[in-house]
Structure formats: structure tokens, C-alpha cells
């Protein structure tokens, strides 16, 4: 039975996990840096990198201790090697390389987006390739056809802001602080999604892509007008964003020319933690008569289990690892 250590440090979560090929998450630990970045209203890269230096070694020790296992029990070490804040990425990647070298095991340089993209399969053994994936995080908003580890076809992306970024900016405008997504979702529950007229950029457009910049500007105007309750703005923003996502995905499901039939719609990434987003996508999948999958909430936001699992998928596919001089990649499209 194969065992992989996963390490994540691309943004503001330091995390370590041990995962097995039978999809058991043997142990996982996460240290959020939320409190350190809170006063600045967003992630400060230098603070993040330093915090990863402090947090990761005890987290890695803790997962081995909890599992009653040792580094030598691992078949490979997988660490996020991009995309993300380069200082933090380098911290986790270098630790991963050092541990792999010490154990004489392969080092797997993991694309963080691949971690998100394959995360639904960690929880759901029945999820087979290919599937249509909406990948929505703080930095990305993409529709992908996932054919297998390392095999992705990008069908759509955002021409300006990512969806998570739009949630974070709306939160900031409403004075909800950082991180914004969960706060907007909570406040939206108390508001009327029809109260504030907001645009749905690119709705019905012939091109497949997303755009959220116009929605963000409209939220700014709505806040500045002083005419609306914050909860109504949050609810109206969330509904407008969901309408855009459903429209774009509906287009992809209807028009994309797939070689093999797509039987599942899957969502992953931080914004996939949003219950209203999940419900809207589930309804869309039902309308198209395909199944719908979303990872459990904790696997949607950044974590190391999904990095270990992406490593496992590659390992099981016969990947023998990356060279120890692999360079961290601040930008790394799937
Ligand atoms: O995947 P993730 O943890 O980190 C990145 O790789 O970016 O995603 C973080 C993003 C943030 O923009 C955060 O506000 C958003 O996901 N997010 C949410 C929710 N939870 C996290 N957005 C909407 N509703 C949520 N419940
Ligand atoms: Zn992420």
C-alpha cells in the first residue's frame, strides 16, 4: 500500500498530510495564518512566507506522530511547487525536497491547481475521468475537462477577476474583513438576492469565458450609494455571481465537443465551500441529467491532503518524480 506526504504552502495556509492509495487520509494538519494577515485586509506575502517557515516543521512532525509512522514509510513526498505566492511556495517545496532526499524517495512537484482539480476523487472513489470541472478559488476561475492526472483541457477562464477574488473584494467593500468568502455567504443568508440590481457580465455571451470586474464595480457603486442594507448587497452579489457561473457552465455542457461523454459536473477550490454555489450547480447538473460532485467543505479550501492525493494519482500512474532542482513556479497554468 502506497503512502505519500503532502505539503501545502502556496497562500496563507500551512498544511501537511499523509494519504494512502486507498484514499485514506491517515493524518492531516493545517495552520491558518488568518490572524497574522487580518490587520492588513489581505495576505501579505512576506508575512506568509515567514509563517510557513515556522509552522510547517511542527505540522509535518505532528502528522507522522499521529499516524505512528516515519518518513521512511513514505513512498514519495509531494509539495505544492506553484502557482502561488513565490516565497511561501519555495518554503514548502524546499522542505519537501529535503525530506524526499533524506528518505531517498521521489519528490513530486505538485501544481496547486491539480491538487484542487483531483481533490474530488480523494473523497469519491466512484468519480471517474473524464469530468467537467469548475475550479473556483481566490486566484482562478476556470472550466476544465479533466481527462486524468496531468491531462486537462481548459475550456474557459476569467478575463479579469477570479470568483474568490470577487467575494473577497465584496467583503472588503462591505467592511466584512478577510477572508471574505465565508463572511459574504453568512451575511447573504440574511439578505434579499433581488434587492439590488447588479449586472451579470458576459451572461449569454458567445465566448465561453468569465468576467467579474463589472460586477465588482457595481457592488462598489451600490455600497457608495448608501441606499442598500449590507445583507441585501451581499445576497444580490452572490446571486449575480452564481447566475454568471451557471450560465457559463450551462454553455460548456451544451456546446463543448467532448470525445467521451461527460457524466459528472464537479466543483472544487475555495469557493466550492459556498452552499448556495453548490446548490445551484447541483440543480444545473440535474437539468442536464448528469451527476454532481463536490468535495467535503474542508477539502475545498487549501489543504495538504489534496496535494498528497495529486501526488498519489501521479505516483500510481507510474510517475517517478521531479528533479530536486525543480524551480518553483509563481504562474503555472494547468
Ligand atoms: O482554494 P482556496 O482556499 O485558495 C486559493 O487557492 O486561492 O480559495 C480561497 C478563496 C478565497 O477567495 C475565499 O474568499 C473563497 O475561496 N472562499 C469562499 C468561501 N470559502 C472560501 N467564497 C465563497 N463562499 C465561501 N464559503
Ligand atoms: Zn487553492
Residue 261: the pLDDT is: 80
Binned at pLDDT 50, 70 and 90, residue 60 comes out as: very high
Nearest listed ligand to the Cα of residue 137: 1
Atom index in ligand 1 nearest the CA of residue 301 equals 3
Strand order in the sheet with 264-268: 151-156, 141-148, 131-136, 264-268, 291-293
Residue 165 located in a structural domain:
yes
Residue 326 located in a structural domain:
no
211 lines ligand 1 (CB under 6 A): no
pTM of the prediction? 0.97
How far apart are alpha carbons 35 and 240 in whole angstroms?
A: 30
92 lines ligand 1 (CB under 6 A): no
Binned at pLDDT 50, 70 and 90, residue 257 comes out as: confident
Residue 10 CB coordination number (10 Å) = 30
Residues at Cβ < 5 Å from ligand 2 ion: 137, 302
Domain at 12, CATH number: 3.30.420.40
Nearest listed ligand to the Cα of residue 183: 1
ipTM above 0.85, yes or no: yes
SS3 230: helix
Say whether pLDDT at 38 is over 80. Answer: yes
**Looking at per-residue confidence, does 38 or 205 come out higher?**
205
Summarize the annotated binding site for Fe cation as residue ranges. 112, 116, 302
Say whether pLDDT at 51 is over 80. Answer: yes
Binned at pLDDT 50, 70 and 90, residue 256 comes out as: confident
Say whether pLDDT at 258 is over 80. Answer: no
Residues 11 and 97 in one domain: yes
Residues 288 and 307 in one domain: no
How far apart are alpha carbons 117 and 151 in whole angstroms?
A: 11
Containing domain of residue 61, as a range?
A: 3-117+299-316
Summarize the annotated binding site for substrate as residue ranges. 135-139, 168, 181, 185, 274
Binned at pLDDT 50, 70 and 90, residue 259 comes out as: confident
299 lines ligand 1 (CB under 6 A): no
pLDDT tens string 190-221: 999 999 999 999 999 999 999 999 999 999 99
321 lines ligand 1 (CB under 6 A): no
pLDDT tens string 80-137: 999 999 999 999 999 999 999 999 999 999 999 999 999 999 999 999 999 999 999 9
167 lines ligand 1 (CB under 6 A): yes
Residue 322 located in a structural domain:
no
**Looking at per-residue confidence, does 268 or 257 come out higher?**
268
Residues 277 and 248 in one domain: yes
Which of 30, 82, 164 gets mutated to test ligand 1 (max ligand atoms within 8 A of its CB)?
164
CA 226 to ligand 2 centroid distance, Å: 34
CA 183 remoteness from chain centre: 17
Determine contact, residues 216/184, Cβ cutoff 8 Å: no
Residue 164 half-sphere exposure toward CB, CA atoms < 13 A: 22
164 lines ligand 1 (CB under 6 A): yes
> What average pLDDT does range 267-284 have in this prediction?
98
CA 49 to ligand 2 centroid distance, Å: 16
| Exposed e or buried b per residue across 295-327, where buried means at least 16 C-beta atoms within 10 angstroms of its C-beta | beeebbbbbbbbbbbbbbbbbeeeeebbeeebe
Residues 263 and 308 in one domain: no
Residues 184 and 113 in one domain: no
For residue 6, the surrounding DSSP H or E stretch is strand 3-8
Residues 223 and 306 in one domain: no
Q: For the chain, what is the domain count?
A: 2
> What average pLDDT does range 35-43 have in this prediction?
89
Residues 202 and 158 in one domain: yes
Say whether pLDDT at 78 is over 90. Answer: yes
**Looking at per-residue confidence, does 260 or 315 come out higher?**
315
> What average pLDDT does range 222-247 have in this prediction?
98
How confident is the prediction for the chain on average, in pLDDT? 96
Residue 122 located in a structural domain:
no
Binned at pLDDT 50, 70 and 90, residue 41 comes out as: confident
Residue 331 located in a structural domain:
no
Residues 215 and 182 in one domain: yes
How far apart are alpha carbons 196 and 180 in whole angstroms?
A: 20
Residues 17 and 40 in one domain: yes
CA 75 to ligand 1 centroid distance, Å: 31
Residues 147 and 265 in one domain: yes
Residue 83: the pLDDT is: 98
Residue 72 located in a structural domain:
yes
Residues 182 and 243 in one domain: yes
Residue 166: the pLDDT is: 97
Taking CA atoms only, the protein residue closest to ligand 1 atom 14 is: 181
87 lines ligand 1 (CB under 6 A): no
Nearest listed ligand to the Cα of residue 178: 1
Say whether pLDDT at 149 is over 90. Answer: yes
Residue 190: the pLDDT is: 98
Residues 269 and 151 in one domain: yes
Say whether pLDDT at 179 is over 90. Answer: no
Residue 20 located in a structural domain:
yes
Say whether pLDDT at 301 is over 90. Answer: yes
269 lines ligand 1 (CB under 6 A): yes
Residue 264 located in a structural domain:
yes
> What average pLDDT does range 280-302 have in this prediction?
97
Amino acid at each position: 500500500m502506497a503512502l505519500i506526504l503532502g505539503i501545502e504552502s502556496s497562500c496563507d495556509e500551512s498544511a501537511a498530510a499523509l494519504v494512502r492509495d486507498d484514499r485514506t487520509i491517515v493524518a492531516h494538519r493545517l495552520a491558518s495564518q488568518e490572524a497574522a494577515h487580518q490587520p492588513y485586509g489581505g495576505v501579505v506575502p512576506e508575512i506568509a512566507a515567514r509563517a510557513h517557515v515556522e509552522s510547517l516543521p511542527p505540522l509535518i512532525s505532528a502528522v507522522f506522530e499521529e499516524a505512528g509512522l516515519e518518513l521512511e514509510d513514505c513512498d514519495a513526498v509531494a509539495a505544492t511547487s506553484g502557482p502561488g505566492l513565490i516565497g511561501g511556495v519555495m518554503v514548502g517545496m524546499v522542505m519537501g525536497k529535503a525530506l524526499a532526499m533524506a528518505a531517498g524517495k521521489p519528490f513530486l512537484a505538485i501544481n496547486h491547481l491539480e491538487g484542487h482539480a483531483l481533490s474530488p476523487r480523494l473523497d469519491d472513489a466512484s468519480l471517474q475521468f473524464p469530468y467537467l470541472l469548475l475550479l473556483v478559488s481566490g486566484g482562478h476561475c476556470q472550466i476544465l475537462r479533466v481527462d486524468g492526472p496531468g491531462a486537462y483541457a481548459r475550456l474557459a477562464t476569467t478575463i479579469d477577476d477570479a470568483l474568490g477574488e470577487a467575494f473577497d473584494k465584496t467583503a472588503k467593500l462591505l467592511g466584512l474583513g478577510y477572508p471574505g468568502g465565508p463572511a459574504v455567504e453568512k451575511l447573504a443568508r440574511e439578505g434579499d438576492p433581488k434587492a439590488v440590481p447588479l449586472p451579470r457580465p458576459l451572461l449569454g455571451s458567445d465566448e465561453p469565458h468569465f468576467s467579474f470586474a463589472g460586477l465588482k464595480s457595481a457592488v462598489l457603486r451600490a455600497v457608495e450609494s448608501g441606499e442598500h442594507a449590507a445583507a441585501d448587497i451581499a445576497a444580490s452579489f452572490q446571486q449575480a455571481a452564481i447566475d454568471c457561473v451557471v450560465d457559463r457552465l450551462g454553455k460548456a455542457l451544451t456546446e463543448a465537443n467532448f470525445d467521451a461523454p461527460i457524466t459528472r459536473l464537479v466543483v472544487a477550490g475555495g469557493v466550492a465551500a459556498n452552499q448556495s454555489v453548490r446548490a445551484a450547480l447541483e440543480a444545473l447538473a440535474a437539468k442536464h441529467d448528469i451527476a454532481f460532485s463536490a468535495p467535503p467543505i474542508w477539502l475545498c479550501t487549501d489543504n495538504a491532503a489534496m496535494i498528497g492525493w495529486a501526488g498519489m494519482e501521479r505516483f500510481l500512474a507510474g510517475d517517478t518524480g521531479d528533479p530536486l532542482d525543480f524551480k518553483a513556479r509563481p504562474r503555472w497554468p494547468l
